[in-house]
Amino acid sequence: MATNMQNRRIVLANRPKDTASVDNFRMETVPAAEPAEGEVLVRHRFVSVDPYMRMRMNDVKSYVPPQALDQVMGSGMAGEVVESRHPGFKPGDTVVGSGGWQDFSVLNGKLLRKVDAMKLPLEAYLGPAGMPGVTAWYGTLKLIAPKPGQTFVVSAAAGAVGSVVGQLAKQEGARVIGVAGGPDKCRHVVEELGFDACIDYKAGNLTADFAAAAPDGIDGIFENVGGAVLDAAMRRLNPFARIALCGLIGSGYKAALQPIADATVLLTCKVTLTGFIISDHPEHFPPALADLSDRIASGKLVWSRTITEGLENTPAAFVGMLSGANTGKALVKVS
Ligand SMILES: NC(=O)c1ccc[n+]([C@@H]2O[C@H](COP(=O)([O-])OP(=O)(O)OC[C@H]3O[C@@H](n4cnc5c(N)ncnc54)[C@H](OP(=O)(O)O)[C@@H]3O)[C@@H](O)[C@H]2O)c1
């Protein structure tokens, strides 16, 4: 069946020296592969663009191997089963998995997750009901565990992870301050996501803005950005504060060093700082996904997405996401 189908795929053509650009990628067309025993052929409906992919474009030692040149860019996808040689799947099933930036993938059935596209829109399973949502859930509820009345900060607050983080912290009873780029995103964070305040880091008044937004100090930071944003928040930490270090996208993941301006506060405030990579915590995925999809379906957790149309526009969607073009989860609609 698959032999007649053509598969467009986007590969990494070369590595960026600094900022990633669409010229780092190349699109090719090849015949779609046939599933072997235990495998499933999936037609991609959505593919994901995520910050970690920028890190994988560098040829450096990290928590995952670098993206190989001339190979399909690895990514999450949400799609529909076309052909199955695995007993757990049949044509028409909606699934998510690591399919990459292409029209079709052939995946081991053991690595696919069946999802209910009647409960939530299919693309939600790449966002708040997928890896970014679990990242938010784990870092917020398990690492920081905010208490009622405490002050909680999250950066990249209008993004896929940050938007979920702030809402979860708010539902735990914390006062929640977001940090985002520009007045429109800050308005979205306060008016649509329900945060108590939002600091526009591009306005250039980080110290004064944190002082105004957090008069009683800060008890928890969910850090997605690093650099000046983290430094300014750390200056207001309270004793026994917790920091969940989730990402450092402020650097653009260009493989440069990521200094913290003053480590003294970590000592004097007896801070717990925990760096984490969500793939190290598979045991939290089932409970987190069940909780998150229930909150979304019941309207307790709101979410947005920025959808780019067409597989061929995936590199542009990725580059745009890295510079803040997205509100909520950045996705590409393939078919
Ligand atoms: N540890 C883990 O397991 C894990 C898992 C998933 C994600 N993450 C991390 O979580 C963070 C958010 O990821 P996401 O998928 O939710 O992406 P996202 O927030 O939806 O999109 C990235 C956002 O980063 C912000 N940004 C870009 N450059 C910036 C800069 N120089 N300074 C401040 N903000 C900047 C932009 O928002 P503005 O318009 O507000 O600038 C952009 O929209 C990233 O750091 C990512 O690496 C970590």
Mean pLDDT (whole number) for 159-185:
98
At 257 the pLDDT is: 83
CA of 3 to the centre of ligand 1 (A): 39
| Residues 117 and 135 placed together within one structural domain of the fold | no
Report how far residue 168's alpha carbon sits from residue 156's, in angstroms, rounded to the nearest whole number.
15
**Closest residue CA from atom 45 of ligand 1:** 247
Other C-beta atoms lying within 10 Å of the C-beta of residue 31: 12
- Which ligand 1 atom is the nearest neighbour of the CA of 227? 32
Domains contained in the chain, number: 2
* Residue 28 falls inside a structural domain: yes
Q: pLDDT at residue 296 above 90? A: yes
CA of 76 to the centre of ligand 1 (A): 16
| Residues 86 and 114 placed together within one structural domain of the fold | yes
pLDDT tens digits, one per residue of 56-92: 999 998 888 999 999 999 999 999 999 999 999 999 9
* Residue 284 falls inside a structural domain: no
| Residues 265 and 190 placed together within one structural domain of the fold | yes
* Residue 291 falls inside a structural domain: no
pLDDT tens digits, one per residue of 176-221: 999 999 999 999 999 999 999 999 999 999 999 999 999 999 999 9
Q: What is the CATH number of the domain that holds 230?
A: 3.40.50.720
Evaluate: CB of 327 within 6 angstroms of ligand 1: no
Q: What is the CATH number of the domain that holds 24?
A: 3.90.180.10
Direct distance between the N- and C-terminal alpha carbons of the chain, in angstroms, rounded to an integer: 19
The residue with tokens 């995946």 is: 107
Question: Residue 17 in contact with residue 40, Cβ under 8 Å?
Answer: no
What is the three-state SS of 54-84? HHHCCCCCCCCCCCCCCCECCCCEEEEEEEE
Mean pLDDT (whole number) for 136-164:
98
Other C-beta atoms lying within 10 Å of the C-beta of residue 302: 15
pLDDT tens digits, one per residue of 218-234: 999 999 999 999 999 99
| Residues 112 and 238 placed together within one structural domain of the fold | no
| Residues 18 and 53 placed together within one structural domain of the fold | yes
Report how far residue 138's alpha carbon sits from residue 142's, in angstroms, rounded to the nearest whole number.
5
| Residues 45 and 105 placed together within one structural domain of the fold | yes
* Residue 299 falls inside a structural domain: no
| Residues 158 and 190 placed together within one structural domain of the fold | yes
| Residues 270 and 153 placed together within one structural domain of the fold | yes
| Residues 210 and 247 placed together within one structural domain of the fold | yes
The separation between CA 31 and the C-alpha centre of its own chain, rounded to angstroms, equals 31
Return the bridge partners of 176, or none: 152
Q: Residue 126: which region, alpha, beta or left (left: phi > 0; alpha: psi -120 to 50)?
A: alpha
Can you give the residue range of the structural domain that contains 136? 131-279
Final residue before a domain boundary, out of 279, 294, 314: 279
- Which ligand 1 atom is the nearest neighbour of the CA of 51? 47
CA of 275 to the centre of ligand 1 (A): 15
CA of 202 to the centre of ligand 1 (A): 15
pLDDT tens digits, one per residue of 94-134: 999 999 999 999 999 999 999 999 999 999 999 999 999 99
pLDDT tens digits, one per residue of 54-65: 999 999 988 889
| Residues 148 and 26 placed together within one structural domain of the fold | no
Mean pLDDT (whole number) for 134-139:
98
| Residues 202 and 253 placed together within one structural domain of the fold | yes
Q: Whose CA is closest to 324, among 253, 260, 259, 252?
A: 252
| Residues 318 and 219 placed together within one structural domain of the fold | no
Confidence bin at 1 (pLDDT 50/70/90): low
* Residue 258 falls inside a structural domain: yes
Evaluate: CB of 276 within 6 angstroms of ligand 1: yes
* Residue 250 falls inside a structural domain: yes
